Chain A
């Protein structure tokens, strides 16, 4: 089997440069590539375009890159949990493109699936559709949406093997599988890296063909954004 393993985040991010476009998996703080984000902060690369459903919180996730002014543009569906983000957006420092969540997911999927564009009903008749081609199918209106073109995709999986096969856990799956398909170079960090053959092939969520580099992550914080519990009775 082709071996995709690199030693650490530092090796995994070789080739990352200023001005690049990245995809980063995660929904809120759930399933975000924590180690890759830390390494991007350490590298100090700037003028980045980041495609990610959310933009982290002030002191975690993509908020760490925002704090150091490394992001030029965010492409997201919802960005409401971050004061620094708001400040940079209102001051014009940060460019923001908001996209319906399903459209964002499908644009990521299309990118990796060789589909340059597709029609979706989401956003028809709203400002999201302004300037875009629209078309009627079976009496309903649709908007043409395009695939992305990211240089790197940063993905977090629960378990992965040396061949790059991935299994996700819970709702930490979210955007990660489509982004894994979409990256020219897809970098995956996992909580548990095992030898090829140790994962059940019937249970692989993302086949290794989509993955260029995989490494064993460390020190996962897995912060909970909104802790909601039922008290013990």
Chain B
């Protein structure tokens, strides 16, 4: 069975390491916060100026002056801090944030990512995505392996306008965990019940399969 969006988030959460500062993008990445392993401490950075981001406020306690990068009302945890946008992106570009998780429309085998613009459609803007992908040491992309028409989004080269080049090292899709190196996608894990052949068929880019590929564990 292909993974649900929640399961993709759950699998990405296994990548979190103790004492990491993490920036989560909008969509599936946001769900990662629900599955932090019990034995580790991570802090979430929101690029609009908040470290130590907590869950949504209890009904009635929302504060218009406390939102996340998706403009949703949030809370700040004990020990959290607030800062301006220049300082926030200093944290990001200066590699003080250890992990960025974000969504994508396309990823290519040289680590390029496209996630901000579809020519001919309304362009909303890149927000902080270009700063994040240009700087993060670790970028994990959370995405569906194929589009609604069944076409692969795991490509030899991206067809959409790029957000960043040579930056993605790991991709978690509804079908597989992939690592990007040597200009190829290396298949690391399969979604439970999904065969290597199914993943091959859904991958347009070069897919390297070395030995037995284990199923993801939850």
Chain A contacts for B41, CB-based, 8 A: none
- Distance in Å from the Cβ of A191 to the closest Cβ of chain B? 10
Contact with B along A81-96 (1 / 0, CB 8 A): 1000010011000001
**Contact partner of B135 among A109, A121, A172, CB < 8 A?**
A121
The answer to whether the Cβ of B134 comes within 8 Å of any Cβ in the partner chain is yes
Chain B contacts for A90, CB-based, 8 A: 122
The answer to whether the Cβ of A106 comes within 8 Å of any Cβ in the partner chain is yes
- Distance in Å from the Cβ of B72 to the closest Cβ of chain A? 4
**Contact partner of A230 among B48, B58, B88, B163, CB < 8 A?**
B58
Q: Is the CB of A229 within 8 A of B59?
A: yes
Contact with A along B111-128 (1 / 0, CB 8 A): 010000000001111111
Q: Is the CB of B86 within 8 A of A106?
A: yes
Q: Is the CB of A124 within 8 A of B134?
A: yes
**Contact partner of A27 among B62, B85, B162, CB < 8 A?**
B85
Residue from A100, A226, A231 with most neighbouring chain B CB atoms (10 Å): A100
Q: Is the CB of B83 within 8 A of A100?
A: no
Q: Which of A4-12, A28-36, A195-203 contacts B (4 or more CB under 8 A)?
A: A28-36
The answer to whether the Cβ of A227 comes within 8 Å of any Cβ in the partner chain is yes
B146-201 CB contacts (< 8 Å) to partner A = 161-166
**Contact partner of B125 among A98, A102, A227, A229, CB < 8 A?**
A98
Q: Which of B1-9, B49-57, B209-217 contacts A (4 or more CB under 8 A)?
A: B49-57
Q: How far does the alpha carbon of A31 sit from the alpha carbon of B71 in the complex, in Å?
A: 12
The answer to whether the Cβ of B82 comes within 8 Å of any Cβ in the partner chain is yes
Chain A contacts for B93, CB-based, 8 A: 102, 120-122
Q: Is the CB of B128 within 8 A of A102?
A: yes
The answer to whether the Cβ of B65 comes within 8 Å of any Cβ in the partner chain is yes
Q: Is the CB of B57 within 8 A of A229?
A: yes
Q: How far does the alpha carbon of A100 sit from the alpha carbon of B47 in the complex, in Å?
A: 12
**Contact partner of A175 among B56, B84, B126, B166, CB < 8 A?**
B84
Chain A contacts for B70, CB-based, 8 A: 226
Q: How far does the alpha carbon of A98 sit from the alpha carbon of B127 in the complex, in Å?
A: 9
The answer to whether the Cβ of A44 comes within 8 Å of any Cβ in the partner chain is no
Chain B interface (Cβ < 8 Å from any Cβ of A): 46-50, 55-68, 70-74, 76, 82-86, 88-89, 92-93, 112, 122-131, 134-135, 161-166
Beyond the given A76-B125, A122-B131, A232-B58, could you list 8 further A-B residue pairs with CB under 8 A, ordered by the A residue number?
A27-B48, A28-B48, A101-B47, A102-B89, A103-B131, A168-B84, A173-B84, A228-B56
